């Protein structure tokens, strides 16, 4: 699939404010057997994409619902109840969730990113400058399209390790980090550089996944604190 690190792909992604959609086609070729988890994960991803696209609600609220739904689905995956994922996707309703007080994700998340492998020499400097800059004003429609891009690409990777919540946290972190970087390099360049530095390195993707599991400052609670701040 296209990666937004490519300037032409980034133009396609950010060149419209319409909801991001994906074309599907069926061929006459025999269907190949898929991972059995896909029967539950596909409708779940569809529901999570609908949560992101619910434009009457503020984006922060939609990102929170996206994470909370992933957290409930993670419980089913941990209990090997994948047959219940489709039911959760159909019936889920957002419940009020208490969040303990905390600092949110930033600037800690930017410092975590700066410790990963850097592919370009000025990447860490951009992250450092973003620590001091307030989040830039970016149209919610574009942030939504970016979140949808990451969700479509990454949520189904849970078939490999069962870590749906970690994939959801990654999607939200990329959206919020791009917004932070916009203040120092513009939104288009922030998206392109973020995808270059993170998506192009399996080591960086794995390091972030482990950080979500081990670093309390990147826990789901920290994400919710950030989104409610």
The pLDDT value recorded for residue 136 is 85
* Maximum average pLDDT range among 88-92, 101-105, 117-121: 88-92
User: What mean pLDDT is reported for the chain?
Assistant: 93
Q: Which two tokens stand for residue 184?
A: 């120092």
* Rounded CA Rg of the chain: 17
The pLDDT value recorded for residue 25 is 85
pLDDT at 197 over 70: yes
The pLDDT value recorded for residue 19 is 95
CA distances from 166 to 18, 65, 71, 88, 103 (A): 27, 15, 9, 18, 20
pLDDT at 34 over 90: no
Q: HSE (CB half, 13 Å, CA atoms) of 56?
A: 0
pLDDT at 101 over 90: no
Q: Is the whole-model pTM more than 0.85?
A: yes
With cut-offs at 50, 70 and 90, classify the pLDDT of residue 72. Answer: very high
pLDDT at 222 over 80: yes
> What span, in angstroms and rounded, lies between the C-alpha atoms of 101 and 216?
13
The pLDDT value recorded for residue 30 is 82
């Amino acid at each position: 699939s296209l990666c937004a690190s490519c300037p032409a792909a980034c133009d396609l992604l950010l060149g419209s404010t319409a909801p991001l959609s994906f074309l599907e086609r069926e061929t006459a070729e025999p269907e190949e057997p898929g991972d059995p988890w896909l029967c539950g994960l596909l409708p779940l991803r569809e529901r999570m994409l609908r949560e992101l696209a619910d434009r009457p609600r503020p984006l922060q609220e939609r990102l929170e619902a996206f994470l909370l739904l992933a957290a409930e689905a993670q419980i089913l995956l941990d209990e090997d109840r994948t047959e219940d994922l489709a039911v959760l996707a159909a019936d889920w309703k957002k419940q009020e969730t208490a969040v303990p007080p905390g600092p949110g994700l930033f600037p800690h998340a930017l410092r975590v990113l700066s410790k990963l492998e850097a592919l370009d020499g000025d990447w860490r400097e951009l992250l450092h400058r973003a620590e001091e800059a307030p989040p830039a004003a970016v149209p919610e429609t574009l942030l939504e399209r970016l979140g949808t891009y990451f969700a479509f690409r990454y949520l189904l990777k849970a078939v490999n390790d069962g870590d749906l919540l970690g994939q959801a946290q990654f999607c939200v972190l990329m959206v919020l980090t791009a917004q932070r970087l916009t203040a120092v390099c513009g939104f288009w360049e922030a998206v392109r550089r973020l995808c270059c530095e993170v998506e192009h390195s399996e080591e960086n993707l794995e390091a972030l996944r482990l950080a979500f599991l081990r670093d309390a400052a990147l826990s789901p609670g920290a994400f919710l604190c950030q989104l409610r701040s």
